[in-house]
Amino acid sequence: MNVIDALNARFTCRAFKPDLIPKETMLKIMQAASRAPSWGNTQPWDIYVAAGDILEGIRTEFLSNMANKTPPNTDLALPLPQDWPANLKERYDSLGKARYNILSQEIDQTSLLHVIQECNYRFFDAPAVVYLCMDRSLTTYSMFDLGAVSQSIMLAAQEFGIDSAPAVMLVLYADVIRAAMAIPGKQAIVLGIALGYADRDSIHNHYRSERQPLEEIVKLYGF
């Protein structure tokens, strides 16, 4: 698969099959993704991958926290946006409405929000989750590098027919993840990427988000 095909094939998968990802395949994905660029070749990422019983333990505790309405305790130091620019908010709202309309075809509207929330806390039933971490002393500049390696992981996964879902929800309870994999306290758990084989029959995977027309986002000069 070439890079253009991988970019077009990748989507945020919200329902995975239970099929496990072979360890050798996961290592090949990580090896390829490690070629991602970083500032001064600092390669500031530390990557932890959970599967099997380890992931099931994390998943169980997340669902328990959801049931108990336990407040999140993420390691993210950056504040969440309080207000989006109008055009961004329109796209954000459109995404929610479009997904709601599709899901409501099969899921009762009175329980739809709960079903969506539980799906998030179950990590979309993914057989593996990648946790990207970086030293707490690093600044937002290194966050760009984590973004680069995140995309590299997801594109490399496409080569092996493996789909993905990057989500902050996956790191909502950093204490649970840290305890399960002995992640040092000096490392901030920044982002999670669910990996696995998409259940393409699931209603959760029937929606594809649109992209803005190129002329609205790209300005070329000197061509």
List pLDDT tens digits, range 168-223. Answer: 999 999 999 999 999 999 999 999 999 999 999 999 999 999 999 999 999 999 99
Q: Where are the beta strands (DSSP E) in the chain?
A: 46-51, 128-135, 163-167, 187-196
Task: Give the H or E element holding residue 192.
Answer: strand 187-196
First and final C-alpha spacing in the chain: 30
pLDDT in tens, 103-125: 988 888 888 899 999 999 999 99
The pLDDT assigned to 18 comes to 95
Q: Is the pLDDT of residue 78 over 80?
A: no
Query: Could you report the per-residue pLDDT of 123-165, keeping only the tens digit for each?
Result: 999 999 999 999 999 988 999 999 999 999 999 999 999 999 9
The overall average pLDDT reported for the chain is 94
Of 79 and 56, which is predicted with more confidence?
56
pLDDT digits (tens, 9 = 90+) for 57-66: 999 999 999 9
Which residue, among 105, 123, 127, 107, has the nearest Cα to 115 in the 3D structure?
Answer: 107
AA letter at 111: S
Q: How far apart are CA 124 and CA 170, in angstroms?
A: 10
Are the C-beta atoms of 127 and 196 separated by less than 8 Å? yes
- Six-digit token pair at 206? 């029937």
Q: How far apart are CA 158 and CA 162, in angstroms?
A: 5
pLDDT at res. 76: 84
Q: What is the pTM of this model?
A: 0.93
Residue 131: the pLDDT is 98
| Topology at the third CATH level for domain 3-77+87-201 | NADH Oxidase (3.40.109)
Domain ranges of the chain: 3-77+87-201
Q: How far is CA 146 from CA 3, 134, 182, 188, in A?
A: 19, 8, 20, 12
Tokens of 190: 């920044």
